Chain A
Amino acid sequence: MSITVALDVTERAKPPRAVFVPFRMGHHFGVPFHRSLQRRIIMDALAYVEHARISGDVHRLPITWAQARREGLELEAAFPYRR
Protein backbone atom coordinates (compact mmCIF):
# COMPACT_ATOMS: atom_id res chain seq x y z
CA MET A 1 0.00 0.00 0.00
CA SER A 2 1.57 3.25 -1.18
CA ILE A 3 0.70 6.58 0.42
CA THR A 4 1.57 9.21 -2.15
CA VAL A 5 1.58 12.98 -2.67
CA ALA A 6 2.66 12.57 -6.32
CA LEU A 7 -0.38 11.28 -8.16
CA ASP A 8 1.21 11.47 -11.62
CA VAL A 9 4.26 9.48 -10.51
CA THR A 10 2.14 6.84 -8.77
CA GLU A 11 -0.17 6.40 -11.75
CA ARG A 12 2.86 5.52 -13.87
CA ALA A 13 4.58 3.30 -11.27
CA LYS A 14 1.29 1.42 -10.68
CA PRO A 15 1.61 0.03 -7.18
CA PRO A 16 -1.28 -2.42 -6.71
CA ARG A 17 -2.82 -0.32 -3.95
CA ALA A 18 -2.32 3.41 -3.34
CA VAL A 19 -3.97 6.34 -1.63
CA PHE A 20 -3.31 9.93 -2.67
CA VAL A 21 -3.16 12.82 -0.23
CA PRO A 22 -2.89 16.32 -1.79
CA PHE A 23 -0.16 17.44 0.59
CA ARG A 24 3.32 18.91 0.23
CA MET A 25 6.20 16.59 -0.58
CA GLY A 26 7.66 15.27 2.67
CA HIS A 27 4.35 15.74 4.49
CA HIS A 28 2.45 12.57 3.57
CA PHE A 29 0.88 12.25 7.01
CA GLY A 30 -0.03 15.90 7.39
CA VAL A 31 1.34 18.63 9.57
CA PRO A 32 3.41 18.65 12.76
CA PHE A 33 1.67 17.56 15.97
CA HIS A 34 -1.68 16.87 14.28
CA ARG A 35 -1.94 13.38 15.72
CA SER A 36 -5.53 12.68 14.75
CA LEU A 37 -4.82 13.52 11.11
CA GLN A 38 -1.66 11.39 11.10
CA ARG A 39 -3.63 8.47 12.55
CA ARG A 40 -6.51 8.99 10.14
CA ILE A 41 -4.27 8.80 7.09
CA ILE A 42 -2.70 5.57 8.34
CA MET A 43 -6.08 4.00 9.14
CA ASP A 44 -7.70 5.19 5.89
CA ALA A 45 -4.81 3.66 3.96
CA LEU A 46 -5.16 0.39 5.88
CA ALA A 47 -8.90 0.36 5.26
CA TYR A 48 -8.24 0.68 1.55
CA VAL A 49 -6.02 -2.39 1.72
CA GLU A 50 -9.20 -4.28 2.57
CA HIS A 51 -11.48 -2.47 0.12
CA ALA A 52 -9.35 -2.14 -3.03
CA ARG A 53 -10.72 -4.20 -5.89
CA ILE A 54 -8.74 -3.11 -8.96
CA SER A 55 -4.94 -3.16 -9.07
CA GLY A 56 -3.42 0.20 -9.95
CA ASP A 57 -6.38 2.29 -8.85
CA VAL A 58 -5.37 5.27 -6.71
CA HIS A 59 -7.87 6.15 -3.98
CA ARG A 60 -8.09 9.87 -3.17
CA LEU A 61 -8.50 10.78 0.48
CA PRO A 62 -11.03 13.62 0.92
CA ILE A 63 -8.86 16.28 2.53
CA THR A 64 -6.95 19.34 1.35
CA TRP A 65 -3.60 20.75 2.34
CA ALA A 66 -5.29 24.03 3.27
CA GLN A 67 -7.54 22.17 5.70
CA ALA A 68 -4.60 20.27 7.20
CA ARG A 69 -2.58 23.46 7.63
CA ARG A 70 -5.49 25.32 9.18
CA GLU A 71 -6.14 22.55 11.68
CA GLY A 72 -2.43 22.32 12.47
CA LEU A 73 -2.18 26.04 13.15
CA GLU A 74 -5.22 25.86 15.41
CA LEU A 75 -3.64 23.01 17.37
CA GLU A 76 -0.36 24.86 17.76
CA ALA A 77 -2.19 27.97 18.92
CA ALA A 78 -4.01 25.91 21.53
CA PHE A 79 -0.88 24.06 22.65
CA PRO A 80 2.05 26.42 22.00
CA TYR A 81 4.58 24.53 24.09
CA ARG A 82 4.76 21.35 22.04
CA ARG A 83 8.24 20.21 21.10
Chain B
Amino acid sequence: MMDNSEGAQLRPGLWDTVNERYPGSMIVSADDVALVPLTRPIREARVAFVSSAGVQPRGTLPFDVVHPVGDYSFRRVPSTSRVEDLEIHQLKYPTDGAARDLNVIFPIERLQELAAEGAIGGLTPEFFSFIGYNMDPVSFERTLAQELADAVVAEQPDVVLLAPA
Protein backbone atom coordinates (compact mmCIF):
# COMPACT_ATOMS: atom_id res chain seq x y z
CA MET B 1 0.00 0.00 0.00
CA MET B 2 1.27 3.47 -0.83
CA ASP B 3 2.57 5.60 2.03
CA ASN B 4 0.07 8.41 2.52
CA SER B 5 1.53 9.61 5.82
CA GLU B 6 2.56 12.99 4.36
CA GLY B 7 -0.80 13.63 2.77
CA ALA B 8 0.40 13.07 -0.79
CA GLN B 9 -1.93 12.34 -3.69
CA LEU B 10 -2.99 8.74 -3.20
CA ARG B 11 -2.86 7.94 -6.91
CA PRO B 12 0.04 9.99 -8.32
CA GLY B 13 0.50 10.80 -12.00
CA LEU B 14 -3.18 10.76 -12.78
CA TRP B 15 -3.05 13.56 -15.35
CA ASP B 16 -0.16 11.94 -17.25
CA THR B 17 -1.74 8.50 -17.13
CA VAL B 18 -5.08 9.63 -18.54
CA ASN B 19 -3.47 11.95 -21.09
CA GLU B 20 -1.27 9.12 -22.35
CA ARG B 21 -4.24 6.78 -22.66
CA TYR B 22 -6.55 9.39 -24.20
CA PRO B 23 -4.32 12.02 -25.86
CA GLY B 24 -5.77 15.53 -25.76
CA SER B 25 -8.57 14.62 -23.39
CA MET B 26 -7.21 16.40 -20.32
CA ILE B 27 -7.96 20.04 -19.63
CA VAL B 28 -5.15 22.55 -19.16
CA SER B 29 -5.91 26.17 -18.31
CA ALA B 30 -3.33 28.74 -19.35
CA ASP B 31 -4.79 31.60 -17.34
CA ASP B 32 -5.88 32.17 -13.79
CA VAL B 33 -9.49 33.15 -13.23
CA ALA B 34 -9.87 36.25 -11.11
CA LEU B 35 -11.14 35.57 -7.61
CA VAL B 36 -14.67 36.81 -7.00
CA PRO B 37 -14.97 37.90 -3.38
CA LEU B 38 -17.68 36.42 -1.21
CA THR B 39 -20.31 39.07 -0.55
CA ARG B 40 -21.66 37.67 2.71
CA PRO B 41 -20.40 35.41 5.51
CA ILE B 42 -20.61 31.66 5.06
CA ARG B 43 -23.31 31.41 7.72
CA GLU B 44 -25.49 33.55 5.46
CA ALA B 45 -24.37 32.11 2.13
CA ARG B 46 -26.57 30.06 -0.18
CA VAL B 47 -24.61 27.01 -1.26
CA ALA B 48 -24.89 24.95 -4.45
CA PHE B 49 -23.23 21.59 -5.01
CA VAL B 50 -21.98 20.29 -8.37
CA SER B 51 -20.55 16.80 -8.82
CA SER B 52 -19.10 14.74 -11.65
CA ALA B 53 -19.94 11.57 -9.72
CA GLY B 54 -22.88 10.60 -11.93
CA VAL B 55 -25.41 10.91 -9.10
CA GLN B 56 -28.99 11.21 -10.25
CA PRO B 57 -32.55 10.80 -8.95
CA ARG B 58 -33.90 7.30 -9.43
CA GLY B 59 -36.15 7.21 -12.47
CA THR B 60 -34.24 9.82 -14.49
CA LEU B 61 -32.49 8.88 -17.72
CA PRO B 62 -29.27 7.08 -16.75
CA PHE B 63 -26.00 8.63 -17.88
CA ASP B 64 -24.56 6.85 -20.92
CA VAL B 65 -21.51 5.37 -19.24
CA VAL B 66 -20.37 3.34 -22.27
CA HIS B 67 -20.55 6.01 -24.98
CA PRO B 68 -17.13 6.12 -26.72
CA VAL B 69 -16.63 9.87 -26.24
CA GLY B 70 -18.79 10.47 -23.19
CA ASP B 71 -22.16 11.83 -22.11
CA TYR B 72 -22.38 15.63 -22.19
CA SER B 73 -25.64 15.96 -20.31
CA PHE B 74 -26.27 16.79 -16.67
CA ARG B 75 -28.96 15.97 -14.14
CA ARG B 76 -30.67 18.15 -11.59
CA VAL B 77 -30.71 16.72 -8.08
CA PRO B 78 -33.14 18.48 -5.71
CA SER B 79 -31.22 19.52 -2.61
CA THR B 80 -34.06 18.14 -0.49
CA SER B 81 -33.53 14.63 -1.89
CA ARG B 82 -33.16 11.64 0.37
CA VAL B 83 -30.13 9.48 -0.36
CA GLU B 84 -32.49 6.54 -0.82
CA ASP B 85 -33.95 8.32 -3.84
CA LEU B 86 -30.58 8.78 -5.57
CA GLU B 87 -28.37 6.40 -7.53
CA ILE B 88 -25.00 6.49 -9.29
CA HIS B 89 -24.39 5.83 -12.99
CA GLN B 90 -20.65 6.13 -13.48
CA LEU B 91 -17.90 3.54 -13.96
CA LYS B 92 -14.72 5.55 -13.76
CA TYR B 93 -14.07 5.86 -10.04
CA PRO B 94 -14.37 3.53 -7.03
CA THR B 95 -17.94 3.60 -5.69
CA ASP B 96 -17.54 1.09 -2.87
CA GLY B 97 -17.67 3.84 -0.23
CA ALA B 98 -20.56 5.65 -1.90
CA ALA B 99 -22.51 2.40 -2.16
CA ARG B 100 -22.53 2.28 1.65
CA ASP B 101 -22.82 6.01 2.32
CA LEU B 102 -23.44 8.34 -0.61
CA ASN B 103 -22.15 11.25 1.46
CA VAL B 104 -18.53 10.24 0.83
CA ILE B 105 -18.89 11.64 -2.70
CA PHE B 106 -22.22 13.51 -2.68
CA PRO B 107 -22.63 14.87 0.88
CA ILE B 108 -26.24 15.92 0.54
CA GLU B 109 -27.21 14.89 4.08
CA ARG B 110 -24.31 16.83 5.61
CA LEU B 111 -25.22 19.92 3.58
CA GLN B 112 -28.86 19.59 4.63
CA GLU B 113 -27.75 19.37 8.28
CA LEU B 114 -25.43 22.37 8.02
CA ALA B 115 -28.22 24.44 6.48
CA ALA B 116 -30.73 23.36 9.13
CA GLU B 117 -28.27 24.25 11.90
CA GLY B 118 -27.50 27.66 10.41
CA ALA B 119 -23.81 26.93 9.81
CA ILE B 120 -24.52 27.95 6.21
CA GLY B 121 -27.25 30.24 4.98
CA GLY B 122 -29.08 27.65 2.93
CA LEU B 123 -28.99 25.46 -0.14
CA THR B 124 -29.99 26.17 -3.69
CA PRO B 125 -33.16 24.25 -4.62
CA GLU B 126 -31.18 22.22 -7.17
CA PHE B 127 -27.81 20.51 -7.05
CA PHE B 128 -26.23 19.19 -10.25
CA SER B 129 -24.38 16.12 -11.44
CA PHE B 130 -22.74 14.81 -14.60
CA ILE B 131 -20.16 12.17 -15.44
CA GLY B 132 -16.48 12.98 -15.71
CA TYR B 133 -15.73 10.55 -18.52
CA ASN B 134 -15.82 12.98 -21.45
CA MET B 135 -13.06 12.59 -24.00
CA ASP B 136 -13.54 15.79 -26.00
CA PRO B 137 -12.63 18.85 -23.89
CA VAL B 138 -13.82 21.25 -26.60
CA SER B 139 -17.31 19.74 -26.68
CA PHE B 140 -17.24 19.57 -22.92
CA GLU B 141 -16.56 23.29 -22.62
CA ARG B 142 -18.97 24.39 -25.35
CA THR B 143 -21.92 22.22 -24.36
CA LEU B 144 -21.96 20.66 -20.91
CA ALA B 145 -19.84 23.23 -19.08
CA GLN B 146 -21.67 26.23 -20.55
CA GLU B 147 -25.17 24.79 -20.08
CA LEU B 148 -24.36 23.63 -16.58
CA ALA B 149 -22.86 26.98 -15.63
CA ASP B 150 -25.99 28.75 -16.85
CA ALA B 151 -28.19 26.39 -14.81
CA VAL B 152 -26.09 26.87 -11.68
CA VAL B 153 -26.10 30.67 -11.98
CA ALA B 154 -29.89 30.59 -12.34
CA GLU B 155 -30.04 29.07 -8.85
CA GLN B 156 -28.42 32.28 -7.51
CA PRO B 157 -25.84 30.67 -5.22
CA ASP B 158 -23.31 32.65 -3.20
CA VAL B 159 -20.92 29.69 -3.20
CA VAL B 160 -20.64 26.65 -5.45
CA LEU B 161 -18.87 23.54 -4.18
CA LEU B 162 -17.54 21.33 -6.97
CA ALA B 163 -16.43 17.76 -6.34
CA PRO B 164 -14.78 16.34 -9.48
CA ALA B 165 -15.00 12.59 -8.92
Contact = CB atoms under 8 A, between A and B. Distances in A.
A49 B97 contact: no
B interface: dominant SS: loop
Interface residues of B, number: 54
Contacts of A39: 110, 113-114
Contact of B159 (A15, A46, A64): A46
Contacts of B97: 24, 26-27, 31-32
Nearest to B95: A26
Given A4-B164, A27-B105, A14 B33 contact: yes
Interface residues of A, number: 52
Interface in A32-64: 32-33, 35, 38-39, 41-43, 45-47, 49-50, 52-56, 60, 62-64
A28 B12 CA distance: 16
A73 to B, nearest CB: 13
Interface string B107-142: 100110110000110000000000000000000000
Contacts of B4: 22, 64-66
A25 B104 contact: no
B35 A13 contact: no
A78 interface: no
B165 to A, nearest CB: 6
B149 interface: no
A6 B27 CA distance: 13
A32 B100 contact: yes
B14 A6 contact: yes
B101 A12 contact: no
Nearest to B105: A26
A29 B9 contact: no
B37 to A, nearest CB: 9
A33 B97 CA distance: 10
B68 to A, nearest CB: 22
B47 A46 contact: yes
17 contacts: A1-B159, A2-B164, A6-B14, A9-B15, A24-B97, A26-B53, A26-B165, A28-B163, A28-B165, A32-B104, A38-B110, A42-B114, A49-B38, A50-B42, A53-B35, A56-B33, A64-B7
Interface of B: 4-16, 26-29, 31-36, 38, 41-42, 45, 47, 53, 93-98, 100-101, 103-105, 107, 110-111, 113-114, 119-120, 159-165
